[in-house]
Amino acid sequence: MLKIPFKKTEEISFAEPLKSAILNIFNEDPSAYSDDFETLEGLRQSILEPQVHEASANAHLTYYAQLHYLESKFVFNEQNIKIFFTWGNAFGKKEFVSSHNIGFEKASILFNLGAIYCQLADQAGTTSEEGIKKSAAYYQQSAGAFQCILDNLHAWDISSTANTQLNALTNLMLAQAQEVFLLKAIAGKMREGTLAKLAMQVSTFYSISHEIAAQTSLFDKQWLSCMQAKQHHFCAVARYYKSIEVEAAGKYGEQVGWLAASLEATKAASEKNIIKNLSMPALETEMKNFASTVDNAFQRANKDNDKIYMEAVPAVANLDPLPPARMVNPTPIPELSALSAFITQPLFRNLVPLKIHQAASKYSYKKDQLIKSVTDKLNEGTGLAQRLPGSIEALEQPIGLPNTVIERSKEVREKSGARGIETLWATLTKSAAQDWDILKECIALLDQEEKEDEQSRSAHGAKWTRTPSSTLTRNLRDKCYEYKTKMETADKSNEIVRGKIDTNIALIEHLGSSQKELEASIPSSTQASTLALKDPNLKILKQNLDLLNQNIKSRAELIQRIKKLGESDDIGPALTQNAISNSPLDESVLFDQQIKIYQNDIDLSERLLADQEKLMDVITSANKTFMDSRQTNTMIREREEALSNLDRAYKVFRDISGNLEEGIKFYNDLESVLHKLRQQIQDYCKGRSFDSQRLIQQFSNMSMNSSYAQQASQPLYGGPTNYSPAPSYNQPQPQPQPGVWNPSQARPQYGYPQSGGQQTVPGGWNRPPDSYQNYHQPQFSPQSAQSQPYQPRAYQPNQPFPQGYGNLPPPGHSAYPGQYHSGQQMPPGQFSQQSGQLPPPSGYTPPVYWNQSGQRPQQ
């Protein structure tokens, strides 16, 4: 079998280009995605050297899946994010090709995936039934990988010249898969007619692959000769098995014809031009042995036919074509949804471009207004419908309580009636207050960080070059504004609900009374009701009331459906796709297209409202006639009014309860979102604070280093100085005298506080004790070496860190305490001449807030 070689690639780095894009395009802090950068770099590293095992194939699929998610967030090309994806050719000239196109990267990944599957198939072998099954499956997966590249050549903007190579490889893998399937069929002792068809399909696949491969100079002569040899060889195999089939049917002359045709194919497979380039001894031996088998069978069959059967032998050209039986197909690469099994979660899943976020907020507002408009109309105009059931029940049951009133009163009591309403209200207002507190804290954190940034900018002037907070926090502030707008709308809804509670609480409390108390409060009207029930207007009222109730039920279902549709309506993918295609964003067109999903429900709501209007006209007319006929009977009117009030109380109770439960759910859902937002803001503020401290410390170190030359010759603590500007680390140092600073010895004990405690900086992070902060400054002149006041460290994502920050500084930067510029750890108690800084106390390890790549480690 032919084994496809791997394409080679070079290492690349996603981190720096993507950090720049996150800062400049998304207006977010790149350090928040440090884990995503690390994961992405690790995935790319895992495919540099493909291995022939399933784990390597899965690694390629995982990286391929993440590339899909990656290109939904970023645009990789010469005009946007420029990353050189470099890959070497697997066939032809062994040269490397580079492209900014991420489609080229995806195609190369799939190419190597196809090569892995091809080599896994060869590794599985054909000596066992299990090996044959695996081998056939792997070859089909390999064909699927190449077919996927073929299907996406245009979408991935890959040159059409690759079409020939990929077509040839796809058919070659199918040929080898069909060949393995044929071996399985032979081992399973299938009928000769079936084997002939299977072998003919093997020959067909090899014929197609050779015909396509010969059109390009990419494949060497050995590969072309192998394809051509197998094309003729398996044609011979197919004709041989066909001869056995016709022999069993007693067609001896035809048997000789098929064997002659098989011999003709074996000779074609052994042509000199093919064999000289083949250089595959095993295949050559197999073809030679089979040719001998066919020749022996032909000699025997021809002799028997001449002496015994004497049937006419058809010419090879007159034999019917052998129909092939295809048993293999390319196994498709899993869809993106299925590829999710290979990844824990998409990278950069929370990253949303600012313009997309703003457009999504506008659409969300438009969508909410549309839903509110439709649902408000559906909730209007049912006043009469809420009265009429009570009017009719007052006549149908003139004594005692109707069953509906008894059931509704029981339901209200089970839900604690008016007291239950007040409990839900208390829960809602408490949840609302908690959400407001979190949101106000988020805004206050952003305001405080921005204020500190502006103060530092004013204090340090042109030296303070980091990005202003107002630029970095634009996305976070937009989120705060979005949630603030939603909560203000919810507060107005709460006021309406409170008004309904205050207006109807007495009725609800009355409905929740005991059955005995309710019966005592409802008048009876026995005789008058009997007469009123014979009124023909009552029948009209009941019929139309049933229709109106069905209409109300349909509207309630429609309201729930529209709300559910609104919850699932997300315009984000459409906006993202628009951004990826680099097309101008026409919000009105995009919004109008998206909002069409509500059109069917809007049309239905208008029909229901039109039907309601007609019903209400009929009901109003019939009810007026019915009521006029009973105006003289006070008892009926009083009972009817009492039952109508109870009916209205129940509906108001259900309405208020639903409003309160929906509001509580809204605030609970929003609380989890606000917690995440607050954590994100806190992380941002902490990063900015530490960055500010770093910058201020750098300014302080530069100032102190310039003062050493002037102060080194002055007496230390009133004693003589033995400071040498060029101390030797290889020679014994003079012993210190009392009160005299000696740079070769650890700092005197009085230079450090005895408590050993940690001080807390804003944001809850710890920093070293003041003694360590002062340690960076010389202590020999208390009047001139004052500690710098604490200021929060600023975050400066687009300012590159000094090379080796946190470990080895470049020239011009102060050395980190306890290290030489050479990168070797200083012995305890020794002084760095180049940095002019004292070593830390023995056993003290200064905290490292940033790693060498410029990212703050996870706390």
Return d(Cα 434, Cα 756) in angstroms, integer: 38
pLDDT for the residue numbered 518 = 75
Task: Locate the domains of the chain by residue range.
Answer: 15-337, 802-827
pLDDT score of 222 more than 90: yes
760 pLDDT tier (thresholds 50, 70, 90): very low
pLDDT score of 775 more than 50: no
pLDDT score of 798 more than 80: no
Check residues 212 and 643 and name the one with the higher pLDDT: 212
Return d(Cα 130, Cα 123) in angstroms, integer: 12
Q: How far is CA 746 from CA 72, 701, 735, 810, in A?
A: 56, 20, 12, 26
The per-residue pLDDT for range 509-520, each reduced to its tens digit, is 877 777 777 777
738 near 716, Cβ under 8 Å?
Answer: no
The per-residue pLDDT for range 597-622, each reduced to its tens digit, is 888 988 888 888 888 888 877 777 77
pLDDT for the residue numbered 799 = 41
pLDDT for the residue numbered 580 = 55
Is residue 27 helix, strand or coil? coil
Q: 109 exposed, middle or buried (CB, 10 Å; 0-12, 13-18, 19+)? A: buried
Residue 472 CA to its chain's centroid (Å): 23
Is residue 96 helix, strand or coil? strand
626 pLDDT tier (thresholds 50, 70, 90): low
84 near 52, Cβ under 8 Å?
Answer: no
Average pLDDT for 682-706: 81
Q: 384 exposed, middle or buried (CB, 10 Å; 0-12, 13-18, 19+)? A: middle
Query: How many CA atoms, within 13 angstroms, populate the side-chain half-sphere of residue 805?
Result: 15
pLDDT score of 739 more than 90: no
pLDDT for the residue numbered 112 = 97
Q: Kindly report which listed range (671-675, 749-753, 844-848) carries the lowest average pLDDT score.
A: 749-753
Check residues 538 and 460 and name the one with the higher pLDDT: 460
Count of beta carbons in the 10 Å neighbourhood of residue 546 = 11
Check residues 774 and 284 and name the one with the higher pLDDT: 284
The partner residues of 759 in beta bridges, in order of sequence, read 767
Under 8 Å CB-to-CB from 503, ≥6 apart: which residues? none
Which of 813, 850, 27 is CA-nearest to residue 467? 27
Query: How many CA atoms, within 13 angstroms, populate the side-chain half-sphere of residue 774?
Result: 16
pLDDT score of 560 more than 70: yes
Which of 25, 21, 154, 7 is CA-nearest to residue 87? 7
Maximum average pLDDT range among 313-322, 405-414, 821-830: 313-322
Mean per-residue pLDDT of the chain: 77
Return d(Cα 828, Cα 840) in angstroms, integer: 8
Count of beta carbons in the 10 Å neighbourhood of residue 348 = 21
Return d(Cα 662, Cα 664) in angstroms, integer: 6
Return d(Cα 581, Cα 573) in angstroms, integer: 12
Under 8 Å CB-to-CB from 133, ≥6 apart: which residues? 184
Q: Kindly report which listed range (301-310, 473-482, 696-705) carries the lowest average pLDDT score.
A: 696-705
135 near 191, Cβ under 8 Å?
Answer: no
Please tell me the total number of residues recorded for the chain in this structure: 859
pLDDT score of 46 more than 60: yes
114 near 138, Cβ under 8 Å?
Answer: no
pLDDT score of 235 more than 60: yes
pLDDT for the residue numbered 366 = 85
pLDDT for the residue numbered 545 = 77
pLDDT for the residue numbered 755 = 37
Q: Which two tokens stand for residue 31?
A: 């350090």
225 near 270, Cβ under 8 Å?
Answer: no
443 pLDDT tier (thresholds 50, 70, 90): very high
Return d(Cα 483, Cα 439) in angstroms, integer: 8
Check residues 854 and 161 and name the one with the higher pLDDT: 161
Average pLDDT for 143-148: 96
Q: How far is CA 358 from CA 1, 289, 319, 447, 575, in A?
A: 57, 75, 73, 21, 10
Return d(Cα 91, Cα 86) in angstroms, integer: 16
808 near 802, Cβ under 8 Å?
Answer: no
pLDDT score of 464 more than 50: yes
Q: Which architecture, in CATH terms, is 15-337? A: Alpha Horseshoe (1.25)
pLDDT score of 84 more than 60: yes
pLDDT for the residue numbered 706 = 58
Return d(Cα 590, Cα 598) in angstroms, integer: 14
pLDDT score of 349 more than 70: yes
Return d(Cα 682, Cα 680) in angstroms, integer: 5
Q: Which two tokens stand for residue 712?
A: 């080194």
Single-letter amino acid, residue 841: P
Q: Name the phi and psi angles at 832, rounded to 5.
A: -85, 110
